[in-house]
């Protein structure tokens, strides 16, 4: 088959590939501890499930408007006001199957050949993949361990050119768990305003934060006109399999994204959208408990990793990932990923799955029980001894 040339530019998310390899080993009887998956291991809160069941029983089984049902878009407008202090309109909100399509469709609508997009590296691999796919030029912005995986403002400014069309930021961050400070966000806002650059602010981990409050780019004064706010239900509410996300963006862009929805998904699942209203408006106790449980696991895994010779790990402030430095083990991150899966039966991701600045690191997701994390760490300790023998 002769594929379109653009397919050679499309990247992937290695997490899904490692999961497939891990499952193949499990099928052969090998025990695997899964620390590669970017999704909460909790069940979706009960009241949200009940709302979905009720919606199905009420007959919410038909197409919905492509941009989303109005009551959900209104609830999102309210949530953005409550959480970010910014007034938006229903016409600026688009609901999509997961937050990924907001990323994909806004880049598809805006970026063309020759346009440069600055994006965090290491970062969510889909940024680089989609920029390449549409013919844009990805410009990696290094995130630096010594700065708690924030970027250097001078380095950031040096990457901006006359061709920069968009800047992607992500806080709390995948894969490092780092968060950007208000000052970092202000630097981006200053540059974007001066140079008329669009900003895509990916805030899907905004609720999973262990110190202080989430600083949203969207809350900065005067940025709304050039910002796409991307958020969703997957991570906060343990709803990855429901496929529910949303974006808030200037109305003229929202119209283009709606058109892309019409041409692709038609709409997001209707009964899921009804349940999503309950996610936004219902009780938060279960979601708060998720974060407290993640905090315990974070402290456990950070201490455990730092106890393994050759590994050092800073304490992340958000999300449910750690990004330990493994440079002292003198093996490439990719080889180490394979060694740990095949020898230790522990599935983790090479830092390079998140871009070239991820070399020398691994990503662990601690969306797993303390018991399993403990077993995983013990196995890694043993497997690394074999490595040096």
Interacting residues with ligand PLP (CB under 6 A) = 38, 98-100, 124, 170, 174, 202, 204, 232, 234, 240, 245
Percentages (nearest 5) of helix, strand, coil residues in the chain: 50, 15, 35
User: Smallest distance, Å, CB 234 to ligand PLP?
Assistant: 3
Q: At what angle do helices 125-133 and 100-110 cross, to 10 degrees?
A: 30
Secondary structure of residue 196 in the 3-state scheme: coil
- In the complex, the smallest distance separating the C-beta of residue 107 from ligand PLP, rounded to whole angstroms, is 13
Residue (171 or 383) nearer to ligand PLP, CB: 171
> CA angle 185-129-148, nearest 5°?
35
Q: At its nearest, how many Å lie between ligand PLP and the CB of residue 208?
A: 11
Q: Which is nearer to ligand PLP, 174 or 268 (CB)?
A: 174
Least separation in angstroms between CB 221 and ligand PLP: 25
Report how far residue 200's alpha carbon sits from residue 111's, in angstroms, rounded to the nearest whole number.
12
Angle at 287 between CA 284 and CA 291, to 5 degrees: 130
Give min distance, CB of 203 to ligand PLP, in A: 9
Between 311 and 353, CB nearer to ligand PLP: 353
Can you list the alpha helix ranges (DSSP code H) found in the chain?
A: 14-27, 46-57, 70-84, 100-110, 125-133, 153-159, 182-195, 251-263, 270-281, 285-306, 333-339, 370-388
Distance CA 243, CA 341 (A): 29
User: How far apart are alpha carbons 222 and 86 in whole angstroms?
Assistant: 10
Distant-in-sequence, close-in-space partners of 370: CB < 8 Å, separation ≥ 6: 296, 297, 300
Comparison of 22 and 344: residue with beta carbon closer to ligand PLP? 22
According to DSSP, the residues that pair with 139 across neighbouring strands are 118
Cα separation, 315 vs 182, in Å, equals 19
CB of 230 to ligand PLP, least distance (A): 7
Q: Is the CB of 66 or the CB of 174 nearer to ligand PLP? A: 174
For ligand PLP, the closer CB: 98 or 304: 98
Nearer residue to ligand PLP within complex by CB, 266 or 342: 266
**CB-based closest residue to ligand PLP:** 98
Closest among 327, 301, 329 to 314, alpha carbons compared? 301
Q: Which is nearer to ligand PLP, 198 or 239 (CB)?
A: 239
- Min dist CB 105 to ligand PLP, Å, is 12
User: At its nearest, how many Å lie between ligand PLP and the CB of residue 19?
Assistant: 13
- Which CB, 95 or 377, lies closer to ligand PLP? 95
What is the rounded CA–CA span in Å between residue 336 and residue 212?
35
Asked if the bond preceding 292 is cis, omega within 30° of 0, the reply is no
Nearer to ligand PLP, 38 or 138 (CB): 38
Q: How far is the CB of 114 from ligand PLP (least distance, A)?
A: 26
Query: Residue 230 and residue 374: Cα distance in Å, rounded?
Result: 34
What's the closest the beta carbon of residue 264 comes to ligand PLP, in angstroms? Answer: 14
* Residue 254 · residue 67 · CB < 8 Å: yes
């Amino acid at each position: 088959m002769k594929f379109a040339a653009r397919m050679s530019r499309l990247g992937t998310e290695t997490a899904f590939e490692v999961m497939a390899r891990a499952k193949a080993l499990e099928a052969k009887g090998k025990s695997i501890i899964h620390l590669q998956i970017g999704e909460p291991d909790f069940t979706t809160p009960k009241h949200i499930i009940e709302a979905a069941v009720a919606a199905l029983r009420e007959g919410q089984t038909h197409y919905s408007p492509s941009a989303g049902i109005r009551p959900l878009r209104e609830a999102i407008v309210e949530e953005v006001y409550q959480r970010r202090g910014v007034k938006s309109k229903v016409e600026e909100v688009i609901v999509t199957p997961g937050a990924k399509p907001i990323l994909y469709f806004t880049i598809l609508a805006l970026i063309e050949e020759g346009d440069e997009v600055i994006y965090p590296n290491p970062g969510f691999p889909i940024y680089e993949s989609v920029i390449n796919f549409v013919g844009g030029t990805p410009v990696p912005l290094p995130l630096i361990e010594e700065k708690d995986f924030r970027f250097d403002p001078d380095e950031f400014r040096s990457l901006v050119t006359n061709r920069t069309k968009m800047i992607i930021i992500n806080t709390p961050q995948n894969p490092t768990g780092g968060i950007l400070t208000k000052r970092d966000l202000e630097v981006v806002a200053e540059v974007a305003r001066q140079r008329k650059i669009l900003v895509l602010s990916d805030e899907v981990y905004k609720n999973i934060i262990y110190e202080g409050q989430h600083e949203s780019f969207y809350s900065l004064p005067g940025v709304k006109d050039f910002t796409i706010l991307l958020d969703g239900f997957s991570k906060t509410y343990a709803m990855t399999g429901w496929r529910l996300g949303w974006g808030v963006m200037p109305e003229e862009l929202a119209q283009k994204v709606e058109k892309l929805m019409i041409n692709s998904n038609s709409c997001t699942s209707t009964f899921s959208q009804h349940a999503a209203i309950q996610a936004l408006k219902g009780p938060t106790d279960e979601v708060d408990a998720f974060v407290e449980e993640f905090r315990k696991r974070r402290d456990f895994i950070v201490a455990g990793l730092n106890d393994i010779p050759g590994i050092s790990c800073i304490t992340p402030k958000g999300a449910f990932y750690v990004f330990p430095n493994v440079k002292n083990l003198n093996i490439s991150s990719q080889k180490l990923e394979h060694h740990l899966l095949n020898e230790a039966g522990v599935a983790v991701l090479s830092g390079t799955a998140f871009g070239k600045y991820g070399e020398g690191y691994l990503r662990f997701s601690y969306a797993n029980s303390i018991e399993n994390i403990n077993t995983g760490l013990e196995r890694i300790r043993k497997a690394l001894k074999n490595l040096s023998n």
